[in-house]
């Protein structure tokens, strides 16, 4: 596993939110993919990003929020899409953990980063920005059913 520090730009995204366990089927991805494909928003020009907004060890699973996002190009006519939600993801310094395993093991990657890597590094999590899950494949199309994600955790220099 090769963990790297990266500087990311801001991203404008369209997103669909789902509330419920992260370990149940994620039907909001299908809605977003359908919308994005109809508008020509797909790799390599655009990226799909997942945002796990709650810690399932702290928040009851049925209250966990997840946003399925797709980046949109500059000048995209957001006002022409009143049923879609949009937001800006902040850029800055992130630590990158390349993940490739069964989807239900992504939480283990988060735990490793927050409980082992960050405490032993010169950085701390920047809680004012989102963790980003750049989705690199569709696990249903993967030969082993694995999910490939670049997990990016926002960081800042440790103050103490």
Domain that holds residue 14: 4-157
pLDDT band at 21 (very low <50, low <70, confident <90, very high): confident
The count of structural domains within the chain is 1
What pLDDT is stored for residue 18 in this prediction?
95
Q: Full-prediction pTM beyond 0.85?
A: yes
pLDDT per residue as tens digits for the range 97-135? 999 999 889 889 999 999 999 999 999 999 999 999 999
The answer to whether residues 8 and 78 touch, using CB atoms and an 8 Å cutoff, is no
The answer to whether residues 72 and 32 touch, using CB atoms and an 8 Å cutoff, is no
pLDDT per residue as tens digits for the range 33-89? 999 999 999 888 999 999 989 888 889 989 999 999 999 999 999 999 999 999 999
Whole-number Å distance between alpha carbons of 60 and 83: 28
Structure tokens at 147: 């999910």
* Of residues 67, 159, 70, 141, the one with CA closest to residue 103: 141
- Helix or strand holding residue 149 (H, E): strand 147-157
23: pLDDT strictly greater than 90: no
Q: Which CATH number characterizes residue 148's domain? A: 3.20.80.10
């Amino acid at each position: 596993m090769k963990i790297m520090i990266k500087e990311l730009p801001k991203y404008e995204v369209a997103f669909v939110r789902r509330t419920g366990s992260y370990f149940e089927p994620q039907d909001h991805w299908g809605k977003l993919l359908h919308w994005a494909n109809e508008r020509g928003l797909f790799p390599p020009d655009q990226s799909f990003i997942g945002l796990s907004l709650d810690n399932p060890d702290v928040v009851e699973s049925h209250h966990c929020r997840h946003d399925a996002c797709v980046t949109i190009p500059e000048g995209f006519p957001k006002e022409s899409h009143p049923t879609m939600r949009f937001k800006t993801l902040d850029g800055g310094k992130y630590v990158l953990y390349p993940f490739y395993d069964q989807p239900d093991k992504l939480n283990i990657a988060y735990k490793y980063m927050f409980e082992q890597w960050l405490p032993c590094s010169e950085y701390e999590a920047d809680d004012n920005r989102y963790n980003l899950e750049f989705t690199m494949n569709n696990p249903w199309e993967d030969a082993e059913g694995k999910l490939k994600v670049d997990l990016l955790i926002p960081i800042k220099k440790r103050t103490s």
